[in-house]
Amino acid sequence: MAYESMPALFEQIDELLAEPASPEPAELARLERTLTDGYAHALSLEAEQLRLQRRMTELAGELRDGNR
């Protein structure tokens, strides 16, 4: 999920929170889809964090090697 889609995800969450709970299959499916979208975004952020950490470690190593 791209960063640009975050407002849409927040809007979906706000809508779900504003509505009364419903056992209707369509509403449950909508809730599950929104949860899945949120989890996907969290995993995407985690992957990006790991990528950036690896890159920073790589760059720090290059600086260290260049100072020898």
Please report the sign of the dihedral spanned by the C-alpha atoms of residue 22, residue 26, residue 28, residue 32: negative
- Number of H helices and E strands in the chain, helices first, is 2, 0
At residue 21, the pLDDT reads: 85
Residue 66 in tokens:
């260049």
Q: Encode pLDDT of 5-34 as tens digits.
A: 789 999 999 999 899 888 899 999 999 999
Q: Encode pLDDT of 26-60 as tens digits.
A: 999 999 999 999 999 999 999 999 999 999 999 99
Query: Domain spans of the chain?
Result: 29-68
Is the overall model pTM greater than 0.95, yes or no?
no
Please report the sign of the dihedral spanned by the C-alpha atoms of residue 27, residue 28, residue 33, residue 36: positive
